[in-house]
Amino acid sequence: SSDAEDRLCAFTSNPQGVEPLPANEQPGVVLENGTIRCSHGSRCYGLWEKKADGEMHLLTQGCWTHLHECQADRCILVTEKLSSTQKGSYRFCCCSHDLCNANYTEAPPTADTPALKPMRTDGQAEQTGEKFNLRLIPEERHSSLSCFYPLSWQLIGRGRYGAVFRGSLNERCVAAKLFGSANRQNYVNERSIYCVPLLQQHDNIARFLTANERTTADGRPEFLIIMEYYPHGCLSHYLSLHTVDWLTCCRMTHGVTRGLAFLHTELHRGDQHKPAVAHRDLTSRNVLVRADLSCVLADFGLSMRLTGPRPCRPGDDDTMAISEVGTVRYMSPEVLGGALNLRDCESALKQVDVYALGLLYWESFRRCSDLFPGEAVPEYQLAFQAELGNHPSFEDMQSLVVREKHRPRFPEAWKENSLLLRSLKDTMEDCWDQDAEARLTAQCAEERLYELTLTQVTNSHAPDMNPNTSLKQRAQL
């Protein structure tokens, strides 16, 4: 089949030790008959465990977005070592025809196990100064996994620009983002943003450890960003599996907002200068959740340093890159409509971030159990999922958000006009206002979320004020 077509693959999601992605985060559309309709250019893959008695046990099947050595028209299994701690014998394949991963053929054994191809280990961690030493598993012919995946590292997610693994670095549990050669600029940009002065001192910015480059067996460059491991994964994944109470939801969203407000702020401390930075791809997938359920901003591959009011002239090479960036679902009306204020890029790009922040609030508070007293909490939904499904097109979003001025609908349970609900809904609406200049700043949104954390929700949604709340804060609520 042509790479321009959607690929239909057999689908099973039960990887050992990894929580399955919700359907709205799979790299394709999961169908009811045990198949998945993959995105353009994808291949199919399968992973089996070979038991001691020779029986093959299926672990997982689905879409494979790393295309290296996936040209076969059928599933030819090769031996795959997943981890130094996993003792089983695993078999992997990826292939390029519809449903080619539904059945398999075992490859003949190789004569020898090739030597390790080590990664450069002379790099210094840019923030911590610690040495890093990532070992690779043996390279095996035909194996798309073993040619570049680090030993003992487990695939935990995929994004537009790379795959994410969990593993260990100097006995420390970490996550690694692997970028292919086609996404080098996103790697360079993300590494650059993580190294902005003062950024790593903030509690709501993902912790960067180091970055490095390496070469695959066939000579292609690949790029790694190593960062702190966040056990609950991204916010959308956590909320798809769990509901949260009022205080937890407020603290999670306040942490995101606090991180964004810091990102947007220009700072001078001694001889260090932190420029304002626009995230430009703020989504619930680009927010990570710590073990204590506090949240951090991550994924800065599209972020941009802001250097004060800066006009962007039509026709400039950078204008399109500045004005049409991000995840379609979270694009603001002015980005979708081609009406971004290029006379003042700094303010305009901050306003784009705040629009997405409002959608993130909606996704989060719909999973707050205290806001649905006496009834079931709705299933998790991405913004506009009810209207446009899992894969909205740019044109669909443009029609809905720009022409119809539509926003996610508030649940029926929120129609009660209590002070708490009015404040919450006003905050969302003030973030996603159609008029970009009328939106809250991230700093103002942070203040509002902080005030909400001081409010104790009751079964009637009436706010019970914390006795330590100031009179000014009580008046504002």
Q: Which of 71, 387, 452, 101 is nearest to 257 (CA)?
A: 452
Contact residues for 6 (Cβ-Cβ < 8 A; gap 6+) = 28, 37, 38, 39, 40
Whether 131 has a binding-site annotation, put simply, is no
DSSP string spanning 407-446?
A: -PPPPGGGGS--HHHHHHHHHHHHHS-SSGGGSPPHHHHH
Q: Structure tokens of 404?
A: 């119809």
Indicate which residue of 98, 281, 299, 370 is catalytic.
281
Integer angstrom CA distances of residue 2 from 31, 102, 152, 336: 21, 19, 35, 30
DSSP E strands, 141-230: 154-158, 163-169, 172-179, 208-215, 221-228
Are 431 and 440 contacting, i.e. CB atoms less than 8 angstroms apart?
A: yes
Q: Which residues pair with 30 in a beta bridge?
A: 36
Are 106 and 60 contacting, i.e. CB atoms less than 8 angstroms apart?
A: no
3-state secondary structure of 123: coil
Asked if 281 is an active-site residue, the reply is: yes
Q: Would you list which residues are annotated within the binding site for ATP?
A: 177
The residues that are catalytic are: 281
